[in-house]
Amino acid sequence: MGIPGNHDCRVEHIHIRSGFFAIRFNSMLQKLQKIAHSRWYWLALVALGLSFIAVALYYQYVLEESPCVMCIQVRIWILCLTLVALNAYVLNNRWSSLLAHILTVFIAVGLLDRSYQLLGTERGFVFGDCGFDLGLPSWLPLDTWLPELFRVHSSCGYTPELLFGITMAEALIVFSVVFLLISLTLTIMFFVKRNH
């Protein structure tokens, strides 16, 4: 027969630990809610999008790495992300933020799809026609309006190395997965009632 005091101490210790984790979990949820409702999140996405486009242009014009059709499609998704985030930052109201959160999830899915296709073409596990046509509608000829940014210059096959032997396609697939998880989480947190 055990000593009653020891059993009570163990139960109390479990309650203390579970209470500690509940407090930590609630604190984390509150931080995520704060980010989901923050203007600075949108400003960070604008800066991220502009950085991605700057890197792409550096590789194209300084390092002379010609972009393929999927690379340009990734740029279009990044431009969409930048414009959606800029809109949410400037308007700064509940409805623009709500729409922006939903759109970022769709953008993340589109970005993940293009990144997967790009990596698959590079690694040889995705086969398909990779020509010079962006597939844009006639009323949105981005490659005509901004050829410096959106004109296809080469066929698909490889992407340049960034750092430590990691190719642009590999980095994009990792970014796309992480971004999809973040945008989905923050969209859910946006709908959760805030506790003040």
- Residue pLDDT, tens place only, 40-77: 888 999 999 999 999 888 888 888 777 787 888 888 99
What is the reported pTM? 0.77
Provide the pLDDT for residue 132. Answer: 65
Q: Do 86 and 164 touch, CB atoms closer than 8 A?
A: no
For residue 192, give both structure tokens: 């959760």
- Residue pLDDT, tens place only, 149-170: 777 767 766 677 777 877 888 8
| Helices within 92-151 (DSSP H only) | 94-123, 142-145, 147-150
Per the model's pLDDT, the better-predicted residue between 115 and 11 turns out to be: 115
The domain defined by 37-191 carries CATH number 1.20.1550.10:
yes
Please tell me the distance from the alpha carbon of residue 119 to that of residue 159, in angstroms, as a whole number.
9
Average pLDDT, the chain: 78
Per the model's pLDDT, the better-predicted residue between 16 and 166 turns out to be: 166
Domains of the chain, residue spans: 37-191
- Map residue 155 onto helix, strand or coil: coil
Instruction: Determine what percent of the chain falls in helix, strand and coil, rounding each to the nearest 5.
Output: 70, 0, 25
Q: Do 72 and 120 touch, CB atoms closer than 8 A?
A: no
Q: Cβ atoms within 10 A of the Cβ of 68, count? A: 23
Please tell me the distance from the alpha carbon of residue 122 to that of residue 186, in angstroms, as a whole number.
32
- Map residue 167 onto helix, strand or coil: strand
Residue 23 burial (CB < 10 Å; 0-12/13-18/19+)?
A: exposed
Query: 5 — phi, psi (to 5°)?
Result: -60, -40
Using only the alpha carbons of the chain, give its radius of gyration: 23
